[in-house]
């Protein structure tokens, strides 16, 4: 085997090792980052709230997003209308993006864009 072929073979093996590592990492996360980004893409605003206020929203009928339980530590993520979020005393606005502040928050309330309806949770077969 020539040195050029050996070099190409080493490069190919290296790419295969890196690709297999990346795929393994994606499987370990079980798609949580994609689903979290997907939920955030439906939000026009994000707010950090206390656990009690977030549980109150769930009791009112706002469904928690399943992706929040897949994160470590688990988060309570709820969509609620802007008018309802304005009445929450502890609501502190955040940028709608993956950031340290958002990932550190225990409870998040997201405000959907006006055209969206939140009838089905993420990952269900029916469109939002």
Measured between alpha carbons, how far is 112 from 115 in angstroms, rounded to an integer?
8
Measured between alpha carbons, how far is 128 from 118 in angstroms, rounded to an integer?
6
pLDDT value of residue 119: 52
pLDDT per residue as tens digits for the range 54-88: 999 999 999 999 999 988 889 999 999 999 999 99
Q: Is pLDDT larger for residue 39 or for residue 28?
A: 39
pLDDT per residue as tens digits for the range 5-21: 999 999 999 999 888 87
pLDDT per residue as tens digits for the range 47-59: 999 999 999 999 9
pLDDT value of residue 126: 43
Task: Show the tokens assigned to 33.
Answer: 């980052």
Do the beta carbons of residue 54 and residue 110 sit within 8 Å?
no
Nearest of 92, 113, 91, 106 to residue 39 by alpha carbon: 113
**pLDDT at position 124 over 60:** no
pLDDT per residue as tens digits for the range 32-51: 888 899 999 999 999 999 99
């Amino acid at each position: 085997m020539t040195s050029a072929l050996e070099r190409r073979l080493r490069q190919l093996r290296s790419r295969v090792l890196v690709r297999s590592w990346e795929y393994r990492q994606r499987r370990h996360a079980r798609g949580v980052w994609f689903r979290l980004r997907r939920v955030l893409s439906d939000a026009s605003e994000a707010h950090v709230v206390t656990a009690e206020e977030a549980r109150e929203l769930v009791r009112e009928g706002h469904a928690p997003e399943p992706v929040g339980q897949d994160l470590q530590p688990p988060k309570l993520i709820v969509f609620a209308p802007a008018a309802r979020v304005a009445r929450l005393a502890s609501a502190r606005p955040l940028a709608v993006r993956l950031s340290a502040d958002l990932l550190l928050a225990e409870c998040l309330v997201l405000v959907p864009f006006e055209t969206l309806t939140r009838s089905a949770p993420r990952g269900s077969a029916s469109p939002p």
